[in-house]
Amino acid sequence: MEDTISDGDLLLVNTQEPRIKDNAIYAISVNGDLIVKRVQRRLDGTIMVMSDNPRYRPEEVPPHTADQLRVIGQVVWHGGLVR
């Protein structure tokens, strides 16, 4: 998620937010792996998982496989070392 969130930053995650807000950043679990990405939900039920880092391409999660993605919570704050 560079340049928005840097490796090693501390994150505050709101685990009480049950719904995906368009274009917000979430901690999500995909097949047991924990990742932090920007998430969008399309009208057809497809979920777009994106990084702010242009080196990583957006990924589409079709509605029939969306159960493999588990939202842990919305990232509401991050902080890190002054560089």
Over the chain (83 residues), what is each successive 10-residue block's mean pLDDT?
90 88 92 92 92 94 88 93 74
Q: What is the pLDDT of residue 21?
A: 87
Q: What is the pLDDT of residue 19?
A: 80
The predicted model scores a pTM of 0.87
Domain covering 10-79, topology: Umud Fragment, subunit A (2.10.109)
Q: What angle do CA 7, 13, 19 make, to 5 degrees?
A: 125
What element of type H or E holds 27?
A: strand 24-30
d(CA 35, CA 72): 10
Q: What is the pLDDT of residue 31?
A: 83
d(CA 10, CA 80): 6
